[in-house]
Every structure is written in C-alpha cells, then in structure tokens.
Chain A
C-alpha cells in the first residue's frame, strides 16, 4: 500500500505512539470503526476498550479509557483520558478499576449511570481478553 496513515496516541501524561501505520481500529461510543489512510474528517468520542494498530502486517494493541479520535487529512490523533500499551496492563489493576466502577455505579441514574456502565462493559471486555 502506497499510502500510510499518520497515527498518534496521546494521553495527558505522555505521547504513547506516533508514526505511520496502515490501519487503526478504534472503539467509538457509537460502535467500533477502522481508520484507513485518506479517511474523511471525523471527530468521535471513544469508549473504554482496545485500539488496534496495524503496521506492516504486525498488530499492536493499546488500552484506552475515554477520550476522542480526531481524523484530519493530516492523520489520526487519539486523545485518550487514560491509555497504556496492552502489554503493560495487569489484570489486578483492571480488577481494581472494575471494582471501583461498580462502586460508583451505585446510586447513579440516567446518563451518568449509562456512562459508568459503558466504562464497566469496556473494562470487562478488555479483562476477558487478557
């Protein structure tokens, strides 16, 4: 493939990835989507889950929690509230997160509860793949 997509993944603390890739799969709030080179401009909120980066046949996965994906002609930028390479993720930490998400769900209603529930679902799904 001649065209490559410029992809960068940034969290408030650091830039986790920056470089040319073939494809990136992103968990959006409205559903998963893949971004290929020359994607139309898009701004999407993301939910808790895994980002998959395809580069030269190799796959790399990142855990993300909350944030945005911003696609411009210049490339794709993911602004994640929290992000970490899958390899750095431990199931203990995830279990902690799941437990605290469950705690905060108690007493919540409506939209806020929905957001926490979505976060929880994402965490559970990631935990299942570990």
Chain B
C-alpha cells in the first residue's frame, strides 16, 4: 500500500489539475458566449446572401453562359475537401468528430474513383489527417496566430479557393466543419461550396422574397452581380463555418473540462478516503504496539 506521504502528494497533484481544468472551463464559458454572439451576428448576412443567390440562380439556370462557380465546370473528377478544425485540443471529441466526417467523405469519394485533395484549416485536423492522407494535402492554414476571427481571414481563404478553381486544380469543393447546435451537441457536416447550385438544392426551399408580381431590376446586369456575389458567398460560408466551429470548440471544451473537473473531484474524494483509512490504521497499530509493550512489563 502507498505510504501516507505518497497519498498526500497524489491528492495535491490532483487538486492542482482540478484547479487548471476549472479555470479552463470558465475561460471556455466566457469565450463561448462571445463566439455564440459572433455567430449570431453573422447569421443575417449569411441568410440574406443565400436567399439572394437562390433568387438569382433561378433565373440563371439553363442560360448558356452561367458562371462556373454557380453551375460547376461540367466535371466532378477532382474534389477539394476543405476541412476546418480547431487549433487547440482538450475539447473532447470535437476535432475527432470533424476528422471522422472528413474521412467518411474521403473514403466515399475515393470509392467513386475520384481524386481527393485536402485543404486543411486548423492544426488538430492537420495532425490527424496528415498521418493517413499525407499525399492528399495541398494546403494547410493555422489560425492560431489570429486573436479574433474576422471576415478578412475567411476572405483570404475564399480567394485562395476561388483562385485554385479558376486554375482548374479541382472541379468540386466541399466544406467540412462542425455545426453548433447547442453546448452539448455539435454536428459535423459537409456542405458543397462549388458549384454553388448544389448547396441551394440541398438545403433551402426559400424561393426568395415575394415580389408581389414586380420584376427585379439589376444594376449592373445579373451576370455582373453574380460574378461579384458568388466568390463572396464562398467567403461568407467559410466565415460562417469558422464561427460555428469556434462556438462548437468552446462548447465542447466547456463540457470536457466540466467532466474533467468532476472526475478530479471524485478522485480526490477517493484518495482522501484511502488517506484517512491508512492514517487510522497506522494510529491503531501504533496504539496496539504501545499497549502490548506496556502489558509485557
């Protein structure tokens, strides 16, 4: 059995761990509130831009010179998978869930004989996917240096992706990230970024605002608007994904750290019990020694 001193050391070390996890939980809770707020603030923009595109796309489908970002370039051979994860660990299964979703996608796509390229955002996803799919990774970005998420980050990522598409490096682009449902639940999802038309069919039945019979005027023309709007839609979707991820990471971290704190508490209780038992046993045995010594006299 461990000595009293050993037990004491263990108790104090678990107590220190508990302090750390408790502090991390509180930090995560504070950050979660901010992240949730940011995600909510960004929502109107994303919703509006989506409905505008839906609206415009309807009139552009079937037109010969529809932009490739909207309808695709006619091929589906090479798929660029943009996987957004967190840069830090200690947040439960958050990163693992996203990576698992990404792996499912990769396996499914490769099963169909397609080439998969990976564009990774976030260090944790890179660490996990690098082991299995090292040769598929074409780009990796870490956002560790950014203190606060802003639209500029998403813009530069979006521009990189659009540029790659224009250079013909891939045909279809999918974005894998974690959708923030609530603090306990985050769903890893994958959305199609390019062609934009695929994501419209998938999710929204929104047919745009009711115009009461009036006809939209476009300034400049529809094609001109779409040309500016489509890259921006990609940026917005990436930005939304990053924000959702951030909120999810913090929520997941909060839950994980809450569990860790509780486990540490349980462990302290158990160790304290053993410590007291050992101490009492020691006192009892000392007493027996003294008494039997006195009787022998």
Residues on A lying within 8 angstroms of B by beta carbon are: 8, 10-15, 28-30, 40-45, 66-68, 70, 72-74, 77, 79, 81-82
B211-A41 in contact (CB<8A): yes
| Complex: A8 Cα to B154 Cα, angstroms | 23
Q: Contact: A29 with B48, CB < 8 Å?
A: no
A70-B52 in contact given A12-B151, A43-B219, A45-B224 (Cβ < 8 Å): yes
Verify if B229 is at the interface (C-beta below 8 Å from A).
yes
Residue positions of B touching A, CB distance < 8 A: 38, 41-42, 44-46, 48-49, 52, 56, 150-151, 154, 209-212, 214-220, 224-225, 228-229, 232, 235-236, 239
Measured in the bound complex, the distance between the Cα atoms of B49 and A43 in whole Å is: 12
Do residues A30 and B220 form an inter-chain contact, with CB atoms below 8 A?
yes
CA distance A43 to B56 in the complex (A): 10
- 7 cross-chain pairs, A with B, having the tightest CB-CB distances, nearest first: A44-B219, A14-B41, A12-B151, A72-B209, A10-B45, A42-B217, A41-B216
* Residue of B211, B212, B225 touching A45 (CB-CB under 8 A): B225
Contact B44 A43 (CB under 8 A): no
A73 adjacent to B154 (CB under 8 Å): no
Q: Which residues on B sit within 8 Å (CB–CB) of A72?
A: 209-211
**Contact between B215 and A41, CB atoms less than 8 A apart:** yes
Contact indicator B209/A74 (Cβ below 8 Å):
yes
On whether A43 and B236 interact (CB within 8 A), knowing A12-B45, A14-B41, A79-B52, the answer reads: no
Q: List 26 A-B contacts (CB under 8 A).
A: A10-B44, A12-B239, A13-B41, A13-B42, A14-B41, A15-B41, A28-B219, A29-B219, A40-B217, A41-B211, A41-B214, A41-B215, A41-B217, A42-B217, A42-B219, A43-B52, A43-B217, A44-B218, A44-B219, A68-B225, A68-B229, A72-B210, A73-B211, A74-B209, A77-B48, A79-B45
B152 nearest CB neighbor, chain A only: A82
Residues of B within 8 A of A45 (CB): 219-220, 224-225, 228
For A13, list chain B residues within 8 Å (CB): 38, 41-42, 150-151
- Which residues of chain A are within 8 angstroms of B41 by Cβ–Cβ distance? 13-15
The answer to whether B215 and A15 touch across the interface, beta carbons within 8 angstroms, is no
- Which residues of B have CB within 8 Å of A74? 209-210
Question: A14-B42, A74-B210, A81-B232 provided; 14 other pairs, C-beta below 8 A?
Answer: A10-B44, A12-B42, A12-B45, A12-B235, A43-B56, A43-B216, A44-B219, A45-B224, A45-B228, A68-B225, A70-B52, A72-B209, A73-B211, A79-B52
Set of chain B residues within 8 Å of A73, measured between Cβ atoms: 209-212, 214
Given contacts A13-B41, A45-B225, contact A68 B217 (CB under 8 A): no
